[in-house]
Amino acid sequence: SVLCCPGCFSLFRCSALQDCLSSYSSEVNNAMEFLMKDMGEDRWLCTLLIEEGWRLEYCAISNDYTYCPVEFDEFYKQRRRWIPSTIANLWLLVSKSSKMTANNESIGW
């Protein structure tokens, strides 16, 4: 089990997305929500799926292609955007850990 499936490499069940669509499509009301929802939408979706009891899996034999930063400046900008989102969503996972572990047998301490 993993905590995040990168957007371009992910495949989700329709029923899983239906379980969290209303939360995922909600508007941003404060800075913390901006970090969680708009700066890392794939991580936010995965956090919601885990909260709903879905298990995220990694498949090492899959193939996909995407654009990756070539220059350090591009890489730095990408990481500057992703790191706050990662921290915000990890904080959410930890703050709701009792609910996460109760709803999801693949997550535990």
What are the pLDDT digits (tens) for 7-54? 777 889 999 999 999 999 899 999 888 888 888 888 889 999 999 999
* Separation CA 88–CA 85 (nearest Å): 5
Residue 35's pLDDT is 84
Tell me the pLDDT band of 76, cut-offs 50, 70 and 90. Answer: very high
The confidence band for 64, taking pLDDT boundaries of 50, 70 and 90, is confident
Residue 1: name the closest of 64, 61, 51, 50 by CA. Answer: 50
Handedness of CA 38, 10, 99, 97 (dihedral sign): negative
pLDDT the model gives residue 109: 65
Q: Report the share of the chain in percent with pLDDT over 70.
A: 99
Report pTM: 0.82
